[in-house]
Amino acid sequence: MTWRFADQRVSHPLPLGVAQRAPVGQAVRAGDVLASGTRYGEPVRLAGARRLGVTPDDLPQVMRVPPGAELERGAIIARTGRRFARAVSAPFDGRIVHVRASGDIEFAPVVDRWSVRATLDGVVTESSDWAVTVEGAAWCIQGVVAYGPDAVGDLTLAVDGRTEELAPSRIDVRLRDRILIGGGRSAAEAIARAHACGVAGVVAGAVPAAGLRTLFGDEVSARGAPDGSDTPTVLCLLGFGTSQLPAEVFMPFVPLIGARAAIHSASARLFVFASSGVMTAPTMVPTIALAPDWGAVMPLEGAAAPAREVVLASEVVSAALETTLGTVPTGNLRTLDPV
């Protein structure tokens, strides 16, 4: 969960209805379209081979367009003969979804169009109708969870220090298409304003759970939120509630400001596309502690010593450490290992 420059691998799942996708070996940049396609309405079955008077095996030879083609109403799908021609035409604007073994043709209206964009500079190493995988080198930091669609933009520091909260007053339309570094905490008001101003995404130490429900609905959880294209993109680096970013996490953002970056929501990772020599990766591995009331995630700084055992609310007895934050059960501590 600390900074590291290394070769990265990102798999981009694809929805049904792929029309085109990047081939293996193609070089891509974050933000490039990897694949695009359509979503269908209720399909209808058209009599194909039977109407044309051919066998199902001979149908491909008389089809004027291949399966997957998008057609306007009245366009010829298949035709036989000249003087006494027989033809199958599109009953409405749509796409050939499937040709059955019986020779019938499934044709469906197009109700929506989608595209999937890369979140990593690199090369396509795998490409199928289910996913496109890209591999490349980048600076990376792993978060706890991310919400909203993938985002690409230039990194911009929107706070003065690692303990500060992202203030709505610091956000305006001049930050459009940027990824904002929001400090230790970002409330729902600031994230909503950023989304309204066209900000690509927000990276913060923590976001209050109530704020996440306001932004993404009651179905939001610690694992993510239901898919939604018109929702903010938020990456939580440490957890929920309130936090302070460790210096080992916050300070590396400074030399990376202005660089292109991308948030991959499915894996909760932030990629920054800068040279490996732009900074030295931190060697100290920070430890974070969950507050006794579970309302904050704080970095463990200063000396720590073993303390007496503590009894939790669940009546479980746990070892503990005496820290500057107070007595903390060892189960509430976590080391931020590199990704």
Give all strands of the β-sheet with 326-329 in edge-to-edge order: 305-311, 317-323, 326-329
Q: What does the pLDDT look like over 112-147, one tens digit per residue? A: 889 999 999 999 999 999 999 999 999 999 998 999
What domains appear along the chain, each with residue ranges and CATH number?
A: 4-9+137-278 (3.50.30.10), 42-108 (2.40.50), 287-335 (no CATH)
Q: What is residue 1's predicted lDDT score, i.e. its pLDDT?
A: 63
Q: What is residue 193's predicted lDDT score, i.e. its pLDDT?
A: 94
To the nearest whole number, what is the mean pLDDT of the chain? 88
| Sole residue written with tokens 């507050």 | 291
Q: What is residue 295's predicted lDDT score, i.e. its pLDDT?
A: 73
Average confidence (pLDDT) over 237-258? 88
CA-to-CA dists, residue 202 to 93, 123, 214, 294, angstroms: 40, 27, 16, 23
Burial 24-57 (b: 16+ CB within 10 A, else e): eeeebbbbeebbbbbebeebeebebbebbebeee
At position 5, the amino acid (one-letter code) is: F
Q: What does the pLDDT look like over 198-221, one tens digit per residue? A: 999 999 988 988 888 888 888 888
Q: What does the pLDDT look like over 29-54, one tens digit per residue? A: 999 999 998 888 999 999 999 999 99
Within 13 Å and on the Cβ side, how many CA atoms surround 257? 12
Torsions phi, psi of 174, nearest 5? -70, -15
User: Is residue 211 helix, strand or coil?
Assistant: helix
pTM of the shown model: 0.81
At position 193, the amino acid (one-letter code) is: R
171 CB-near residues (< 8 Å, 6+ apart):
158, 180, 190, 193, 194, 197, 199
CA-to-CA dists, residue 270 to 90, 135, 142, 199, angstroms: 46, 15, 7, 16
Residue from 197, 148, 146 nearest 168 by CA: 197
